[in-house]
């Protein structure tokens, strides 16, 4: 069974009503990103940071996966599909995808500030005074600016095994995630789906689809499934 590896970014979830990470002013919902997405910001004003993610969490619980998320699930009928997402939402899982790797953490989880191995499912508000079993304050389970991306090595290994590589809804400028396409084998076809095609240099066998995720992904999935079904046994 061929392996398809899919890298998704904010564009696929934006169509479900999830706000994109930041706008041109370096702001996220009116905040400087470093105020709400860095260890320094959390140390300076933990209440602000916790409340910021509480709002994001409530928003996530009110939205649903879209046609882009659901189309990727269809690929699992004929392919070994691995999704690597830069998004912190759970929309891929709710749509039914079975193998999802989160590069930047998960909004519906909380992590101990002193014992990072302690991670909890968390769908309610996270407030000052909420602690782990060892008494340390909990924080959002999010990879902030200045922190290592712990799942990156696994993502590189998965990408290197791809027979087909698909990029959806990402600007391809946020590293290290943007570099994953460079680990894909030369011969493997690579598809990029986005309304604004990102600049990709020195990458062979790239096919661009200038479309929103809800339009481009179902179209691409239909094509890949048709090609697979027409192959002789």
Residues assigned a catalytic role: 104
Query: Cβ contacts of residue 193 below 8 Å, gap of 6+?
Result: 166, 167, 168, 169, 209, 211, 213, 216, 217, 220
| Structure tokens, 92 | 């891929």
Q: The tokens 């999935």 sit on which residue?
A: 221
| Structure tokens, 86 | 């830069």
Cα–Cα distance list, 91 to 105, 111, 147 (Å): 13, 20, 24
Cis amide leading into 176 (omega within 30): yes
| CA-based nearest residue to 164, from 73, 68, 80, 67 | 80
């Amino acid at each position: 069974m061929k392996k398809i590896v899919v890298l998704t970014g904010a564009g696929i979830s934006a169509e479900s009503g999830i706000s994109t990470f930041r706008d041109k002013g370096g702001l996220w919902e009116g905040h400087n990103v470093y105020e709400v997405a860095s260890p320094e910001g959390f140390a300076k004003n933990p209440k602000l940071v916790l409340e910021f993610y509480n709002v994001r969490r409530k928003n996530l619980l009110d939205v649903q996966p879209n046609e882009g998320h659901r189309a990727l699930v269809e690929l699992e009928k004929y392919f070994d599909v691995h999704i690597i997402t830069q998004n912190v939402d759970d929309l891929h899982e709710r749509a039914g995808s079975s193998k999802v790797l989160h590069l930047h953490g998960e909004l519906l989880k909380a992590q101990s500030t002193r014992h990072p191995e302690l991670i909890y499912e968390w769908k309610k508000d996270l407030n000052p005074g909420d602690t782990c079993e060892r008494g340390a304050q909990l924080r959002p389970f999010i990879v902030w600016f200045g922190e290592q991306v712990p799942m990156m090595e696994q993502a590189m290994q998965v990408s290197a095994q791809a027979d087909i590589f698909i990029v959806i809804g990402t600007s391809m400028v946020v590293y290290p995630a943007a570099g994953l396409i460079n680990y894909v084998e030369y011969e493997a076809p690579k598809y990029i789906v986005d309304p604004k095609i990102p600049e990709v240099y020195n990458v062979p066998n790239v096919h661009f689809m200038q479309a929103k995720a809800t339009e481009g992904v179902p179209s691409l999935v239909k094509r890949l499934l048709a090609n697979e079904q027409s192959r002789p046994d």
